[in-house]
Chains A and B, each alone.
Chain A
Amino acid sequence: MKVATLSTEQAPPISVPLCFFAVAPVFLVLAALLLAAGGGNPFADTRSPASLAATHCITLGFMAMVMLGATQQLLPVVIGSPVPAPRLVAWSTLLPLTAGALLLSGGFMLGEPALLNLSWPLLGLAFLVFIGAGMLSLARASARNATKTAILLSILSLAVAVALGMLLARGYATGLPLPYTRLATAHIGLALGGWVMLLIAGAAYQVVPMFQLTPDYPKWLTANLAPAIFAVLLLGLASLLLEPAPRWMASATENLFWLLAACFAVVTLRLQNRRRRRVPDATLSFFRLGMLSLLLAALFSLASRLSPTANDYFGTLSVLIFLLGFAMSLTQGMLYKIIAFLVWFHLFRGGINAVKAGVPNMKEIIPEPWMWRHLWLHIGTLLAVLLAPLWGVAAWLVMLGLLLQGVLLGCAVLAGISVYRRTLGRIEQIPA
Protein backbone atom coordinates (compact mmCIF):
# COMPACT_ATOMS: atom_id res chain seq x y z
CA MET A 1 0.00 0.00 0.00
CA LYS A 2 1.57 3.25 -1.08
CA VAL A 3 0.92 6.13 1.24
CA ALA A 4 0.79 8.46 -1.72
CA THR A 5 -2.30 6.83 -3.14
CA LEU A 6 -4.63 8.75 -0.87
CA SER A 7 -2.87 12.03 -1.17
CA THR A 8 -4.57 14.88 -2.92
CA GLU A 9 -1.16 16.58 -2.85
CA GLN A 10 -0.37 14.47 -5.90
CA ALA A 11 -2.62 16.68 -7.96
CA PRO A 12 -0.71 18.92 -10.40
CA PRO A 13 -0.90 22.70 -9.81
CA ILE A 14 -4.24 24.21 -10.78
CA SER A 15 -2.73 26.06 -13.75
CA VAL A 16 -2.22 22.74 -15.55
CA PRO A 17 -5.83 21.51 -15.86
CA LEU A 18 -7.11 25.07 -16.27
CA CYS A 19 -4.87 25.52 -19.34
CA PHE A 20 -6.47 22.45 -20.96
CA PHE A 21 -9.93 23.77 -20.07
CA ALA A 22 -9.19 27.30 -21.27
CA VAL A 23 -7.88 26.14 -24.65
CA ALA A 24 -10.76 23.71 -25.32
CA PRO A 25 -13.59 26.27 -25.88
CA VAL A 26 -11.44 28.14 -28.43
CA PHE A 27 -11.65 25.04 -30.61
CA LEU A 28 -15.46 25.08 -30.44
CA VAL A 29 -15.40 28.63 -31.79
CA LEU A 30 -12.88 27.60 -34.43
CA ALA A 31 -15.04 24.62 -35.47
CA ALA A 32 -18.02 26.95 -35.99
CA LEU A 33 -15.92 29.38 -38.04
CA LEU A 34 -14.48 26.58 -40.22
CA LEU A 35 -17.97 25.21 -40.91
CA ALA A 36 -19.17 28.68 -41.86
CA ALA A 37 -16.15 29.31 -44.10
CA GLY A 38 -16.54 25.99 -45.92
CA GLY A 39 -19.41 27.10 -48.13
CA GLY A 40 -22.43 24.94 -48.94
CA ASN A 41 -24.06 22.85 -46.22
CA PRO A 42 -21.24 21.05 -44.35
CA PHE A 43 -23.76 18.70 -42.68
CA ALA A 44 -24.98 17.40 -46.03
CA ASP A 45 -21.50 16.11 -46.87
CA THR A 46 -19.65 14.97 -43.75
CA ARG A 47 -16.49 14.27 -45.74
CA SER A 48 -16.11 17.77 -47.13
CA PRO A 49 -12.87 19.55 -46.12
CA ALA A 50 -14.73 21.92 -43.77
CA SER A 51 -16.59 19.03 -42.10
CA LEU A 52 -13.41 17.04 -41.57
CA ALA A 53 -11.60 20.12 -40.25
CA ALA A 54 -14.43 21.07 -37.87
CA THR A 55 -14.95 17.48 -36.70
CA HIS A 56 -11.29 17.23 -35.67
CA CYS A 57 -11.47 20.63 -33.97
CA ILE A 58 -14.31 19.25 -31.86
CA THR A 59 -12.94 15.75 -31.24
CA LEU A 60 -9.27 16.66 -30.71
CA GLY A 61 -9.25 20.34 -29.81
CA PHE A 62 -12.33 20.31 -27.59
CA MET A 63 -13.22 16.81 -26.39
CA ALA A 64 -9.78 15.18 -26.21
CA MET A 65 -8.43 18.39 -24.64
CA VAL A 66 -11.01 18.28 -21.84
CA MET A 67 -10.83 14.52 -21.44
CA LEU A 68 -7.03 14.43 -21.26
CA GLY A 69 -6.96 17.33 -18.79
CA ALA A 70 -9.73 15.83 -16.67
CA THR A 71 -8.46 12.24 -16.76
CA GLN A 72 -5.09 13.33 -15.36
CA GLN A 73 -6.98 14.97 -12.48
CA LEU A 74 -9.46 12.17 -11.89
CA LEU A 75 -7.25 9.08 -12.08
CA PRO A 76 -5.80 9.69 -8.61
CA VAL A 77 -9.30 9.81 -7.16
CA VAL A 78 -11.25 7.17 -9.07
CA ILE A 79 -8.60 4.46 -9.24
CA GLY A 80 -6.39 5.63 -6.38
CA SER A 81 -3.26 6.07 -8.45
CA PRO A 82 -1.63 9.35 -9.47
CA VAL A 83 -0.28 10.05 -12.94
CA PRO A 84 3.53 9.93 -12.91
CA ALA A 85 5.43 13.23 -13.43
CA PRO A 86 2.14 15.19 -13.63
CA ARG A 87 3.57 18.53 -14.79
CA LEU A 88 5.75 17.04 -17.52
CA VAL A 89 2.93 14.79 -18.74
CA ALA A 90 0.47 17.68 -18.75
CA TRP A 91 2.65 20.05 -20.77
CA SER A 92 3.83 17.40 -23.19
CA THR A 93 0.21 16.49 -23.96
CA LEU A 94 -1.27 20.00 -23.95
CA LEU A 95 1.20 21.70 -26.30
CA PRO A 96 1.48 19.05 -29.06
CA LEU A 97 -2.27 18.36 -28.88
CA THR A 98 -3.07 22.05 -29.37
CA ALA A 99 -0.57 22.48 -32.19
CA GLY A 100 -1.47 19.13 -33.79
CA ALA A 101 -5.22 19.80 -33.74
CA LEU A 102 -4.69 23.25 -35.31
CA LEU A 103 -2.40 21.89 -38.04
CA LEU A 104 -4.62 18.90 -38.82
CA SER A 105 -7.75 21.07 -39.12
CA GLY A 106 -5.81 23.60 -41.18
CA GLY A 107 -4.50 20.79 -43.39
CA PHE A 108 -7.98 19.42 -44.05
CA MET A 109 -9.50 22.83 -44.61
CA LEU A 110 -6.84 24.08 -47.03
CA GLY A 111 -6.03 20.68 -48.54
CA GLU A 112 -2.43 21.38 -47.61
CA PRO A 113 -0.28 18.18 -47.34
CA ALA A 114 2.55 19.98 -45.51
CA LEU A 115 0.23 20.87 -42.60
CA LEU A 116 -1.13 17.31 -42.41
CA ASN A 117 2.43 16.00 -42.39
CA LEU A 118 3.35 18.30 -39.51
CA SER A 119 0.20 17.45 -37.55
CA TRP A 120 0.33 13.69 -37.22
CA PRO A 121 3.71 13.36 -35.45
CA LEU A 122 2.63 16.05 -32.93
CA LEU A 123 -0.70 14.34 -32.26
CA GLY A 124 1.12 11.02 -32.02
CA LEU A 125 3.45 12.50 -29.39
CA ALA A 126 0.61 14.01 -27.34
CA PHE A 127 -1.32 10.74 -27.23
CA LEU A 128 1.79 8.59 -26.74
CA VAL A 129 2.67 10.55 -23.60
CA PHE A 130 -0.92 10.43 -22.33
CA ILE A 131 -1.37 6.73 -23.09
CA GLY A 132 2.01 5.84 -21.55
CA ALA A 133 1.29 7.82 -18.38
CA GLY A 134 -2.27 6.48 -18.17
CA MET A 135 -1.13 2.86 -18.53
CA LEU A 136 1.56 3.32 -15.89
CA SER A 137 -0.98 4.85 -13.54
CA LEU A 138 -3.41 1.96 -14.15
CA ALA A 139 -0.67 -0.62 -13.63
CA ARG A 140 0.17 0.91 -10.24
CA ALA A 141 -3.45 1.27 -9.10
CA SER A 142 -4.33 -0.74 -6.04
CA ALA A 143 -8.09 -0.43 -6.60
CA ARG A 144 -9.66 -3.18 -8.71
CA ASN A 145 -12.97 -2.11 -10.08
CA ALA A 146 -15.02 -1.91 -13.23
CA THR A 147 -13.93 1.69 -13.79
CA LYS A 148 -10.32 0.58 -14.05
CA THR A 149 -11.19 -2.07 -16.66
CA ALA A 150 -13.29 0.36 -18.69
CA ILE A 151 -10.56 3.04 -18.64
CA LEU A 152 -7.93 0.46 -19.61
CA LEU A 153 -10.00 -0.72 -22.61
CA SER A 154 -10.77 2.89 -23.46
CA ILE A 155 -7.07 3.78 -23.56
CA LEU A 156 -6.30 0.68 -25.68
CA SER A 157 -9.00 1.76 -28.17
CA LEU A 158 -7.53 5.24 -28.18
CA ALA A 159 -4.06 3.87 -28.96
CA VAL A 160 -5.33 2.02 -32.07
CA ALA A 161 -7.61 4.92 -33.12
CA VAL A 162 -4.66 7.32 -32.92
CA ALA A 163 -2.36 4.98 -34.86
CA LEU A 164 -4.98 4.66 -37.60
CA GLY A 165 -5.56 8.42 -37.59
CA MET A 166 -1.84 9.07 -38.02
CA LEU A 167 -1.69 6.60 -40.90
CA LEU A 168 -4.71 8.24 -42.56
CA ALA A 169 -3.29 11.76 -42.18
CA ARG A 170 0.03 10.63 -43.62
CA GLY A 171 -1.82 8.84 -46.42
CA TYR A 172 -3.86 11.95 -47.33
CA ALA A 173 -0.70 14.05 -47.30
CA THR A 174 1.43 11.79 -49.44
CA GLY A 175 -1.19 10.06 -51.57
CA LEU A 176 -0.27 6.58 -50.31
CA PRO A 177 -2.46 3.86 -51.80
CA LEU A 178 -4.45 2.86 -48.69
CA PRO A 179 -7.90 1.33 -48.14
CA TYR A 180 -9.15 4.74 -46.94
CA THR A 181 -12.80 3.91 -46.38
CA ARG A 182 -12.03 0.85 -44.26
CA LEU A 183 -9.33 2.63 -42.25
CA ALA A 184 -11.60 5.60 -41.64
CA THR A 185 -14.43 3.29 -40.49
CA ALA A 186 -12.08 1.57 -38.04
CA HIS A 187 -10.65 4.92 -36.87
CA ILE A 188 -14.10 6.41 -36.18
CA GLY A 189 -15.39 3.21 -34.56
CA LEU A 190 -12.49 2.96 -32.11
CA ALA A 191 -12.30 6.68 -31.35
CA LEU A 192 -16.00 7.18 -30.67
CA GLY A 193 -17.24 3.67 -29.82
CA GLY A 194 -14.08 2.72 -27.93
CA TRP A 195 -12.30 5.66 -26.36
CA VAL A 196 -15.25 8.04 -25.83
CA MET A 197 -17.93 5.47 -25.00
CA LEU A 198 -15.79 3.40 -22.62
CA LEU A 199 -14.23 6.39 -20.87
CA ILE A 200 -17.67 7.86 -20.24
CA ALA A 201 -19.06 4.50 -19.05
CA GLY A 202 -16.08 3.95 -16.72
CA ALA A 203 -16.38 7.44 -15.27
CA ALA A 204 -20.17 7.14 -14.95
CA TYR A 205 -19.92 3.97 -12.82
CA GLN A 206 -18.30 6.16 -10.14
CA VAL A 207 -19.61 9.64 -10.81
CA VAL A 208 -23.35 8.90 -11.12
CA PRO A 209 -23.84 7.08 -7.78
CA MET A 210 -21.36 9.36 -5.99
CA PHE A 211 -22.47 12.84 -6.99
CA GLN A 212 -26.05 12.29 -8.06
CA LEU A 213 -26.76 9.99 -5.08
CA THR A 214 -28.29 7.18 -7.12
CA PRO A 215 -28.12 3.46 -6.35
CA ASP A 216 -24.96 1.76 -7.70
CA TYR A 217 -24.90 0.47 -11.28
CA PRO A 218 -25.94 -3.21 -11.31
CA LYS A 219 -23.01 -5.65 -11.14
CA TRP A 220 -24.07 -7.48 -14.33
CA LEU A 221 -23.65 -4.24 -16.23
CA THR A 222 -20.37 -2.98 -14.76
CA ALA A 223 -18.75 -6.41 -14.99
CA ASN A 224 -19.69 -7.03 -18.62
CA LEU A 225 -20.50 -3.85 -20.53
CA ALA A 226 -17.00 -2.51 -21.26
CA PRO A 227 -15.48 -5.92 -22.17
CA ALA A 228 -18.52 -6.66 -24.37
CA ILE A 229 -18.29 -3.32 -26.19
CA PHE A 230 -14.56 -3.82 -26.68
CA ALA A 231 -15.10 -7.36 -28.02
CA VAL A 232 -17.74 -6.07 -30.44
CA LEU A 233 -15.34 -3.37 -31.66
CA LEU A 234 -12.63 -5.99 -32.21
CA LEU A 235 -15.08 -8.14 -34.21
CA GLY A 236 -15.92 -5.07 -36.27
CA LEU A 237 -12.20 -4.55 -36.92
CA ALA A 238 -11.80 -8.20 -37.90
CA SER A 239 -14.64 -7.90 -40.40
CA LEU A 240 -12.78 -5.02 -42.05
CA LEU A 241 -9.68 -7.17 -42.50
CA LEU A 242 -11.53 -9.84 -44.50
CA GLU A 243 -11.61 -9.59 -48.27
CA PRO A 244 -14.34 -9.07 -49.39
CA ALA A 245 -15.64 -7.56 -46.14
CA PRO A 246 -18.73 -9.58 -45.12
CA ARG A 247 -21.62 -7.08 -44.96
CA TRP A 248 -23.60 -9.16 -42.49
CA MET A 249 -20.71 -9.15 -40.00
CA ALA A 250 -20.20 -5.39 -40.14
CA SER A 251 -23.92 -4.87 -39.74
CA ALA A 252 -24.22 -7.38 -36.88
CA THR A 253 -21.36 -5.80 -34.91
CA GLU A 254 -22.81 -2.34 -35.43
CA ASN A 255 -26.23 -3.47 -34.19
CA LEU A 256 -24.65 -5.13 -31.18
CA PHE A 257 -22.67 -2.00 -30.34
CA TRP A 258 -25.77 0.18 -30.41
CA LEU A 259 -27.71 -2.37 -28.37
CA LEU A 260 -25.03 -2.28 -25.65
CA ALA A 261 -24.80 1.52 -25.79
CA ALA A 262 -28.59 1.84 -25.52
CA CYS A 263 -28.58 -0.57 -22.59
CA PHE A 264 -26.06 1.68 -20.79
CA ALA A 265 -28.19 4.75 -21.51
CA VAL A 266 -31.41 3.11 -20.24
CA VAL A 267 -29.79 1.82 -17.04
CA THR A 268 -28.22 5.25 -16.36
CA LEU A 269 -31.50 7.10 -16.93
CA ARG A 270 -33.34 4.67 -14.64
CA LEU A 271 -30.72 5.05 -11.90
CA GLN A 272 -30.99 8.83 -12.21
CA ASN A 273 -34.77 8.58 -11.86
CA ARG A 274 -34.15 6.91 -8.50
CA ARG A 275 -31.66 9.56 -7.31
CA ARG A 276 -31.94 10.69 -3.71
CA ARG A 277 -30.64 14.16 -4.50
CA ARG A 278 -33.64 15.91 -6.05
CA VAL A 279 -32.44 19.54 -6.25
CA PRO A 280 -32.00 20.93 -9.79
CA ASP A 281 -28.44 20.47 -11.03
CA ALA A 282 -27.22 21.62 -14.44
CA THR A 283 -24.54 18.92 -14.66
CA LEU A 284 -27.16 16.24 -14.03
CA SER A 285 -29.35 17.72 -16.77
CA PHE A 286 -26.39 17.75 -19.20
CA PHE A 287 -25.80 14.13 -18.23
CA ARG A 288 -29.41 13.10 -18.84
CA LEU A 289 -29.47 14.98 -22.14
CA GLY A 290 -26.34 13.01 -23.07
CA MET A 291 -28.00 9.68 -22.26
CA LEU A 292 -31.15 10.59 -24.22
CA SER A 293 -28.91 11.55 -27.14
CA LEU A 294 -27.13 8.20 -26.94
CA LEU A 295 -30.50 6.44 -27.20
CA LEU A 296 -31.47 8.68 -30.08
CA ALA A 297 -28.17 7.97 -31.88
CA ALA A 298 -28.88 4.23 -31.51
CA LEU A 299 -32.38 4.72 -32.96
CA PHE A 300 -31.03 6.74 -35.91
CA SER A 301 -28.51 4.01 -36.61
CA LEU A 302 -31.34 1.44 -36.65
CA ALA A 303 -33.41 3.72 -38.89
CA SER A 304 -30.53 4.07 -41.35
CA ARG A 305 -30.53 0.30 -41.80
CA LEU A 306 -34.30 -0.04 -42.07
CA SER A 307 -34.81 2.79 -44.51
CA PRO A 308 -32.63 2.39 -47.62
CA THR A 309 -33.90 5.66 -49.15
CA ALA A 310 -33.02 7.88 -46.18
CA ASN A 311 -30.05 5.90 -44.97
CA ASP A 312 -27.48 8.66 -45.50
CA TYR A 313 -29.58 11.16 -43.55
CA PHE A 314 -30.10 8.84 -40.57
CA GLY A 315 -26.51 7.59 -40.65
CA THR A 316 -25.18 11.17 -40.52
CA LEU A 317 -27.59 12.04 -37.71
CA SER A 318 -26.52 9.01 -35.71
CA VAL A 319 -22.87 10.14 -35.74
CA LEU A 320 -23.72 13.83 -35.18
CA ILE A 321 -26.00 13.12 -32.23
CA PHE A 322 -23.47 10.71 -30.70
CA LEU A 323 -20.74 13.34 -30.99
CA LEU A 324 -22.59 16.58 -30.22
CA GLY A 325 -25.46 15.16 -28.14
CA PHE A 326 -23.87 12.37 -26.14
CA ALA A 327 -20.14 13.09 -25.91
CA MET A 328 -20.34 16.88 -25.89
CA SER A 329 -23.20 17.15 -23.36
CA LEU A 330 -21.33 14.97 -20.88
CA THR A 331 -18.01 16.73 -21.46
CA GLN A 332 -19.56 20.13 -20.85
CA GLY A 333 -21.63 19.08 -17.86
CA MET A 334 -18.65 17.48 -16.12
CA LEU A 335 -16.39 20.40 -17.02
CA TYR A 336 -18.54 22.86 -15.07
CA LYS A 337 -18.29 20.73 -11.93
CA ILE A 338 -14.59 20.01 -12.33
CA ILE A 339 -13.57 23.66 -12.81
CA ALA A 340 -15.60 24.91 -9.85
CA PHE A 341 -14.33 22.12 -7.64
CA LEU A 342 -10.67 22.55 -8.63
CA VAL A 343 -10.79 26.27 -7.89
CA TRP A 344 -12.41 25.67 -4.50
CA PHE A 345 -10.05 22.82 -3.67
CA HIS A 346 -6.87 24.69 -4.51
CA LEU A 347 -8.02 27.79 -2.59
CA PHE A 348 -9.11 25.80 0.43
CA ARG A 349 -5.63 24.34 0.71
CA GLY A 350 -4.57 27.82 1.86
CA GLY A 351 -5.49 26.59 5.36
CA ILE A 352 -6.54 28.93 8.15
CA ASN A 353 -5.88 32.08 6.11
CA ALA A 354 -8.14 30.74 3.39
CA VAL A 355 -10.92 30.32 5.93
CA LYS A 356 -10.33 33.86 7.25
CA ALA A 357 -10.34 35.32 3.73
CA GLY A 358 -13.52 33.38 2.88
CA VAL A 359 -13.23 30.84 0.09
CA PRO A 360 -16.18 31.17 -2.33
CA ASN A 361 -18.35 28.07 -2.61
CA MET A 362 -18.72 26.22 -5.93
CA LYS A 363 -21.81 28.12 -7.00
CA GLU A 364 -20.03 31.42 -6.44
CA ILE A 365 -17.16 30.33 -8.69
CA ILE A 366 -19.22 29.71 -11.83
CA PRO A 367 -22.68 31.31 -11.51
CA GLU A 368 -25.43 28.71 -11.89
CA PRO A 369 -27.58 30.73 -14.34
CA TRP A 370 -24.72 30.54 -16.87
CA MET A 371 -24.79 26.77 -16.79
CA TRP A 372 -28.57 26.66 -17.30
CA ARG A 373 -28.33 29.14 -20.18
CA HIS A 374 -25.64 26.97 -21.71
CA LEU A 375 -27.81 23.88 -21.32
CA TRP A 376 -30.71 25.53 -23.17
CA LEU A 377 -28.38 26.81 -25.87
CA HIS A 378 -27.02 23.29 -26.26
CA ILE A 379 -30.53 21.81 -26.51
CA GLY A 380 -31.36 24.39 -29.18
CA THR A 381 -28.19 23.50 -31.08
CA LEU A 382 -29.09 19.79 -30.96
CA LEU A 383 -32.61 20.46 -32.26
CA ALA A 384 -31.07 22.34 -35.17
CA VAL A 385 -28.70 19.40 -35.77
CA LEU A 386 -31.71 17.17 -36.47
CA LEU A 387 -32.58 19.27 -39.52
CA ALA A 388 -29.11 20.45 -40.48
CA PRO A 389 -28.32 17.76 -43.10
CA LEU A 390 -31.48 18.73 -45.01
CA TRP A 391 -31.93 22.44 -44.41
CA GLY A 392 -29.29 25.15 -44.79
CA VAL A 393 -30.89 27.49 -42.23
CA ALA A 394 -30.65 24.79 -39.55
CA ALA A 395 -27.01 24.24 -40.50
CA TRP A 396 -26.32 27.93 -39.85
CA LEU A 397 -28.11 27.68 -36.50
CA VAL A 398 -25.84 24.77 -35.51
CA MET A 399 -22.76 26.85 -36.38
CA LEU A 400 -24.12 29.80 -34.39
CA GLY A 401 -24.94 27.46 -31.49
CA LEU A 402 -21.41 26.01 -31.43
CA LEU A 403 -19.91 29.49 -31.61
CA LEU A 404 -21.98 30.81 -28.70
CA GLN A 405 -21.34 27.68 -26.65
CA GLY A 406 -17.60 28.11 -27.13
CA VAL A 407 -17.83 31.75 -26.04
CA LEU A 408 -20.01 30.94 -23.01
CA LEU A 409 -17.80 28.09 -21.87
CA GLY A 410 -14.68 30.19 -22.40
CA CYS A 411 -16.19 32.96 -20.24
CA ALA A 412 -17.03 30.40 -17.54
CA VAL A 413 -13.45 29.11 -17.46
CA LEU A 414 -12.09 32.67 -17.34
CA ALA A 415 -14.55 33.54 -14.58
CA GLY A 416 -13.27 30.56 -12.58
CA ILE A 417 -9.66 31.64 -13.11
CA SER A 418 -10.44 35.22 -12.11
CA VAL A 419 -12.23 34.15 -8.90
CA TYR A 420 -9.20 31.99 -8.11
CA ARG A 421 -6.74 34.84 -8.63
CA ARG A 422 -8.77 37.38 -6.67
CA THR A 423 -9.31 35.09 -3.71
CA LEU A 424 -5.69 33.97 -3.70
CA GLY A 425 -4.68 37.63 -3.57
CA ARG A 426 -6.91 38.16 -0.52
CA ILE A 427 -5.53 35.05 1.19
CA GLU A 428 -1.95 36.17 0.63
CA GLN A 429 -2.63 39.61 2.10
CA ILE A 430 -3.66 38.16 5.44
CA PRO A 431 -0.67 38.34 7.82
CA ALA A 432 0.56 34.90 8.89
Chain B
Amino acid sequence: MKTIAETMTADHKACDDEFAHAEQAAFAGNWSGAETGFNAFRNGMAHHFKMEEDVLFPALVSAGGPSGPVHIMRMEHTQIRGLLEQMAAALANKNAQEYGGLSETLLIVMQQHNLKEEQILYPIADQVLAAERETLFSQMREV
Protein backbone atom coordinates (compact mmCIF):
# COMPACT_ATOMS: atom_id res chain seq x y z
CA MET B 1 0.00 0.00 0.00
CA LYS B 2 1.15 3.52 -0.75
CA THR B 3 2.35 5.74 2.07
CA ILE B 4 0.50 8.87 3.17
CA ALA B 5 3.36 10.94 1.75
CA GLU B 6 3.14 9.25 -1.67
CA THR B 7 -0.65 9.51 -1.87
CA MET B 8 -0.87 13.15 -0.80
CA THR B 9 2.10 14.18 -2.95
CA ALA B 10 0.40 12.61 -5.98
CA ASP B 11 -2.68 14.67 -5.17
CA HIS B 12 -0.55 17.85 -5.03
CA LYS B 13 0.80 17.03 -8.49
CA ALA B 14 -2.71 16.44 -9.86
CA CYS B 15 -3.72 19.89 -8.56
CA ASP B 16 -0.58 21.40 -10.16
CA ASP B 17 -1.72 20.01 -13.53
CA GLU B 18 -5.12 21.67 -13.26
CA PHE B 19 -3.41 24.90 -12.16
CA ALA B 20 -1.18 24.88 -15.25
CA HIS B 21 -4.13 24.19 -17.63
CA ALA B 22 -6.13 27.09 -16.23
CA GLU B 23 -3.19 29.49 -16.33
CA GLN B 24 -2.29 28.55 -19.90
CA ALA B 25 -5.90 29.00 -21.10
CA ALA B 26 -6.23 32.40 -19.35
CA PHE B 27 -2.95 33.53 -20.88
CA ALA B 28 -4.19 32.53 -24.34
CA GLY B 29 -7.49 34.40 -23.76
CA ASN B 30 -9.44 31.13 -23.90
CA TRP B 31 -11.87 32.08 -21.13
CA SER B 32 -14.16 29.06 -21.32
CA GLY B 33 -11.11 26.76 -21.10
CA ALA B 34 -9.73 28.87 -18.25
CA GLU B 35 -13.03 28.60 -16.38
CA THR B 36 -13.19 24.82 -16.78
CA GLY B 37 -9.53 24.48 -15.78
CA PHE B 38 -9.84 26.84 -12.82
CA ASN B 39 -12.99 25.14 -11.50
CA ALA B 40 -11.30 21.75 -11.70
CA PHE B 41 -8.28 23.22 -9.90
CA ARG B 42 -10.34 24.91 -7.19
CA ASN B 43 -12.41 21.78 -6.59
CA GLY B 44 -9.26 19.66 -6.44
CA MET B 45 -7.72 22.04 -3.91
CA ALA B 46 -10.93 22.17 -1.84
CA HIS B 47 -11.02 18.37 -1.70
CA HIS B 48 -7.33 18.17 -0.78
CA PHE B 49 -7.76 20.69 2.04
CA LYS B 50 -10.84 18.83 3.31
CA MET B 51 -8.92 15.54 3.38
CA GLU B 52 -6.26 17.20 5.47
CA GLU B 53 -8.36 19.40 7.73
CA ASP B 54 -11.17 16.92 8.39
CA VAL B 55 -9.24 13.63 8.48
CA LEU B 56 -5.45 13.73 8.40
CA PHE B 57 -4.66 16.66 10.69
CA PRO B 58 -7.09 15.70 13.51
CA ALA B 59 -5.85 12.10 13.38
CA LEU B 60 -2.25 13.27 13.47
CA VAL B 61 -2.76 15.58 16.44
CA SER B 62 -4.82 13.09 18.45
CA ALA B 63 -2.14 10.43 17.86
CA GLY B 64 0.37 12.75 19.54
CA GLY B 65 1.72 14.40 16.39
CA PRO B 66 2.92 18.01 16.56
CA SER B 67 0.07 20.54 16.73
CA GLY B 68 2.15 23.66 15.95
CA PRO B 69 3.02 22.76 12.35
CA VAL B 70 -0.56 21.57 11.77
CA HIS B 71 -1.78 25.00 12.88
CA ILE B 72 0.63 26.70 10.47
CA MET B 73 -0.54 24.47 7.61
CA ARG B 74 -4.16 25.44 8.36
CA MET B 75 -3.20 29.12 8.29
CA GLU B 76 -1.54 28.67 4.94
CA HIS B 77 -4.69 26.96 3.63
CA THR B 78 -6.59 30.14 4.54
CA GLN B 79 -4.00 32.20 2.66
CA ILE B 80 -4.37 29.99 -0.41
CA ARG B 81 -8.19 30.14 -0.23
CA GLY B 82 -7.95 33.94 -0.23
CA LEU B 83 -5.84 33.91 -3.40
CA LEU B 84 -8.22 31.44 -5.05
CA GLU B 85 -11.13 33.81 -4.38
CA GLN B 86 -9.23 36.70 -5.94
CA MET B 87 -8.42 34.52 -8.95
CA ALA B 88 -12.07 33.59 -9.37
CA ALA B 89 -12.92 37.33 -9.44
CA ALA B 90 -10.20 38.04 -12.03
CA LEU B 91 -11.54 35.17 -14.13
CA ALA B 92 -15.12 36.48 -13.89
CA ASN B 93 -13.86 39.90 -15.09
CA LYS B 94 -11.79 38.22 -17.85
CA ASN B 95 -8.78 40.19 -16.59
CA ALA B 96 -5.82 38.21 -17.95
CA GLN B 97 -3.18 40.43 -16.39
CA GLU B 98 -4.69 40.25 -12.93
CA TYR B 99 -5.22 36.51 -13.24
CA GLY B 100 -1.61 35.99 -14.38
CA GLY B 101 -0.19 37.99 -11.45
CA LEU B 102 -2.35 36.19 -8.91
CA SER B 103 -1.60 32.83 -10.43
CA GLU B 104 2.14 33.56 -10.24
CA THR B 105 1.74 34.50 -6.56
CA LEU B 106 -0.39 31.48 -5.77
CA LEU B 107 2.14 29.14 -7.41
CA ILE B 108 4.91 30.26 -5.07
CA VAL B 109 2.72 30.18 -1.96
CA MET B 110 1.23 26.80 -2.85
CA GLN B 111 4.55 25.15 -3.76
CA GLN B 112 6.28 26.30 -0.59
CA HIS B 113 3.35 24.98 1.40
CA ASN B 114 3.40 21.65 -0.46
CA LEU B 115 7.14 21.26 0.04
CA LYS B 116 6.82 21.72 3.78
CA GLU B 117 4.04 19.13 3.93
CA GLU B 118 5.85 16.67 1.67
CA GLN B 119 9.20 16.92 3.39
CA ILE B 120 8.18 17.27 7.01
CA LEU B 121 4.52 16.77 7.86
CA TYR B 122 3.60 13.72 5.74
CA PRO B 123 6.68 11.72 6.78
CA ILE B 124 5.71 12.35 10.42
CA ALA B 125 2.14 11.27 9.64
CA ASP B 126 3.48 8.08 8.06
CA GLN B 127 5.38 7.30 11.27
CA VAL B 128 2.69 8.23 13.76
CA LEU B 129 -0.30 6.86 11.83
CA ALA B 130 1.25 3.77 10.21
CA ALA B 131 -1.31 1.39 11.74
CA GLU B 132 -4.36 3.44 10.73
CA ARG B 133 -3.37 4.20 7.17
CA GLU B 134 -6.05 2.12 5.48
CA THR B 135 -8.89 3.56 7.59
CA LEU B 136 -7.60 7.08 6.97
CA PHE B 137 -7.47 6.58 3.20
CA SER B 138 -11.06 5.37 3.11
CA GLN B 139 -12.20 8.30 5.30
CA MET B 140 -10.34 10.70 3.03
CA ARG B 141 -12.00 9.29 -0.06
CA GLU B 142 -15.39 9.97 1.48
CA VAL B 143 -14.95 13.64 2.39
Give the interface of A toward B (CB within 8 A): 1, 3-8, 77-78, 80, 142-143, 145, 206, 210-211, 213, 276-281, 337, 341, 344-345, 348, 355, 360-364
Whether B69 lies near A213 (C-beta < 8 A) is no
CB distance from A219 to the nearest CB of B (A): 15
Chain A residues with Cβ below 8 Å from B79 are 348
CB distance from B29 to the nearest CB of A (A): 12
Given contacts A3-B66, A5-B120, A77-B115, contact A277 B108 (CB under 8 A): no
A-B contacts, 12 of them at CB < 8 A, read: A1-B120, A3-B68, A5-B120, A6-B121, A145-B119, A210-B112, A277-B23, A280-B27, A281-B104, A361-B105, A363-B104, A364-B101
Given contacts A362-B104, A363-B104, contact A6 B111 (CB under 8 A): no
B10 is an interface residue with CB less than 8 A from chain A = no
Whether A213 lies near B20 (C-beta < 8 A) is yes
Chain A residues with Cβ below 8 Å from B23 are 277, 279
Chain A residues with Cβ below 8 Å from B54 are none
B126 is an interface residue with CB less than 8 A from chain A = no
Whether A3 lies near B69 (C-beta < 8 A) is yes
Instruction: Select from chain A the residue with minimum beta-carbon distance to B68.
Output: A3
B40 is an interface residue with CB less than 8 A from chain A = no
Whether A211 lies near B120 (C-beta < 8 A) is no
**Alpha-carbon separation in the docked complex, A142 to B124 (Å):** 11
Which secondary structure dominates where chain A touches chain B?
Answer: helix
Instruction: Select from chain B the residue with minimum beta-carbon distance to A355.
Output: B82
Chain B residues with Cβ below 8 Å from A145 are 119
**Alpha-carbon separation in the docked complex, A345 to B86 (Å):** 16
Whether A6 lies near B20 (C-beta < 8 A) is no
Chain B residues with Cβ below 8 Å from A345 are 109
Given contacts A1-B120, A355-B82, A361-B105, 17 further A-B contacts (CB under 8 A): A3-B69, A5-B120, A6-B69, A7-B68, A7-B72, A210-B115, A211-B111, A213-B16, A278-B24, A279-B27, A281-B104, A341-B108, A360-B101, A361-B101, A362-B105, A363-B97, A363-B101
Whether B115 lies near A206 (C-beta < 8 A) is yes
Whether B108 lies near A337 (C-beta < 8 A) is yes
Chain B residues with Cβ below 8 Å from A280 are 27
**Alpha-carbon separation in the docked complex, A143 to B101 (Å):** 31
**Alpha-carbon separation in the docked complex, A94 to B102 (Å):** 32
CB distance from B15 to the nearest CB of A (A): 11
